Chains A and B, each alone.
Chain A
Amino acid sequence: MTDPRRLHVGGRGDDRAVSVSVGYVLNLAVASLLLAGLFIAGGSFVEGEREQAVRGELTVVGERVVADLMTVDRLAAGSDYPDGLVVERNAEFPARVSGSSYTVTVDPSAEVVALEHPRSDVTVEVPFRASSDVEETTASGGNLEIRWNATAERVEVVES
């Protein structure tokens, strides 16, 4: 007697139920594509957020440095005896921003404090105005001391 299944499909026995496997593979492929898309989107989201975060943090730190620098300058400008004046400002800042270090550069000729974060390639410049001389320096991020140098009669930013 002829196999009724054979008659029904009209093909060979090992071609049977192929659509299930194909469906399965397609299912896997679609799922992989979806997940890869999620990875890429998530990764670039983190990258974007990181840059925003670094920019925001450097701006805050820069503004604090500038505020302290101008505080010292203001106290020095109001003094009648700048050669005997003592002004020392201890400022606490995070040593690392977004997991890596940064540098603080004081540029008196351009009247800006530039903060550079090499890993994410972000540079933030905060302008300032000082009536006294300001020393041109580069310090690595972290705790800083902004002080008046009575001998040289200028404002200095040093690491503490």
Chain B
Amino acid sequence: MADVSRLLGGRDGADAAARGDRTERAQLILITGLTLAVILVAVVLLLNTVIYTENLATRGVDAGGGEAVEFREGTVDDIEGLLVRTNWTDTDRETFDADLDRYASSTGEHRIREGIRASIETDPAAGAYVAQDADRGLVPSDDYLESEGEEETVDPGDEWTLVEGATRTRSYVLDVRVPDGDRIEDESDVDSGAFRLRVEGGGNSWDVEIYWLEDDDDVTVRIDGEEYDGTGDGVRLDLTDGTVGGERKSFVWADGVEDESGGQAYNVSYENGDTVSGTYAFVVDAPGGVRTASPTDPLHADPDDGSPYAVDAVYDVTVDVRHHTPDLRYEDRVRVAPGERDD
């Protein structure tokens, strides 16, 4: 083996060897070996930190905020179900509030078991459900038309207002037929003789006209100037969902009148309602804007008295959703209003 001591200018290696002192021999290789070992350890440490960092990449802690989104969407779906059920079954407000509280507390308890602090706060807004269940002309209630003591006689074809001061409307379904005898000759008669639904507010108006021309096979629906065909003598419209006969069209409910933030109040009225017959139903956010003191007002207060009627309903629920995990704090507000135009 090489004698390093000679290179390093130490004692004469031959002398040392002769004396049997072999401890200082082979130092060059020893130092090189040690240095290489240190280098290799450094490489190992380096690769170890790489493995650690790449481990971070695969650590699946709610990568896309999916849990939070799922919680929000699930809450919205559930509350939507509660809301629809309440409006259908005419459950009173106290029951609805109690249902919401129970839902919020059970959801919170369920989530805490998974290590998530979740809470839901709800704020329902009152509204009115206006509907005509019986197939009749789209005119005020019979009581109203026949009422005595009115200052002026009411003609069924006159324009009459269903709702005043609404800012939002949802789930507006209109299912009408035009009787054969009420067909109009040509389009010049539309303004005077066709059924018209008018949404009016802030100096703007949005009209839906339904008529059946004598030389036409199908009923025509004219929404904001745009014409669509019905099927035969009738048509089913979902005005807030934007469908004619179940097919989605490009019109938007109360376009130019309704303000998305709910800042513009408007009225909903019918004219020439005696030229068509059918049913309708919708929910508005103006419980005070429907006139139900029958017989002096056009809507019944109780569905048992006949159509059309208006009853109290829940218009929407504003939900504050909180979802806290160690990695993500998420708090958002969602407004649940199934059947609104942007739904």
Contact = CB atoms under 8 A, between A and B. Distances in A.
Given A35-B32, A39-B35, A80 B65 contact: no
B36 A60 contact: no
B112 interface: no
Contacts of A67: 63-64
Given A31-B28, A74-B65, A63 B49 contact: no
B293 interface: no
Contact of B329 (A31, A32, A79, A88): A88
B2 A28 contact: yes
B334 interface: yes
Contacts of A31: 2, 28-29
B56 A60 contact: yes
A46 B36 CA distance: 11
B54 interface: yes
Contacts of B32: 35, 38-39
Interface in A50-99: 50, 53, 56-57, 60-61, 63-64, 67, 70-72, 74-75, 78-81, 84-94, 97-98
A75 B53 contact: no
B53 A60 contact: yes
A75 B57 contact: no
Contacts of A38: 32, 36
Given A53-B46, A53-B49, A60 B54 contact: yes
B42 interface: yes
Contacts of B134: none
A81 B335 CA distance: 9
B50 A53 contact: yes
Interface string B40-74: 10110011011011101100000111001100100
Contacts of B335: 80
Given A61-B53, A87-B329, A42 B36 contact: yes
Nearest to A76: B332
Contact of B332 (A42, A46, A81): A81
* Range, interface on chain B: 35 or more
A55 to B, nearest CB: 10
Given A85-B331, A89-B327, A49 B47 contact: yes
Given A42-B36, A57-B49, A79 B54 contact: no
B115 interface: no
B333 interface: yes
A5 to B, nearest CB: 21
Interface in B86-108: none
Contact of B63 (A71, A93, A98): A71
Given A28-B2, A84-B332, A90-B328, 20 more contacts: A31-B2, A35-B28, A42-B36, A42-B39, A45-B43, A46-B46, A56-B54, A57-B54, A63-B57, A67-B64, A70-B64, A71-B63, A71-B64, A78-B72, A80-B335, A86-B332, A87-B328, A90-B327, A91-B327, A97-B53
Interface of B: 2-3, 6-7, 28-29, 32, 35-36, 39-40, 42-43, 46-47, 49-50, 52-54, 56-57, 63-65, 68-69, 72, 326-335
Interface of A: 27-28, 31-32, 35, 38-39, 42-43, 45-46, 49-50, 53, 56-57, 60-61, 63-64, 67, 70-72, 74-75, 78-81, 84-94, 97-98
26 contacts: A27-B2, A28-B2, A35-B28, A38-B36, A42-B36, A49-B46, A53-B46, A53-B50, A60-B53, A60-B57, A64-B57, A67-B64, A71-B63, A75-B65, A75-B332, A79-B333, A80-B333, A81-B333, A84-B331, A86-B329, A87-B328, A88-B330, A92-B56, A93-B56, A94-B52, A94-B53
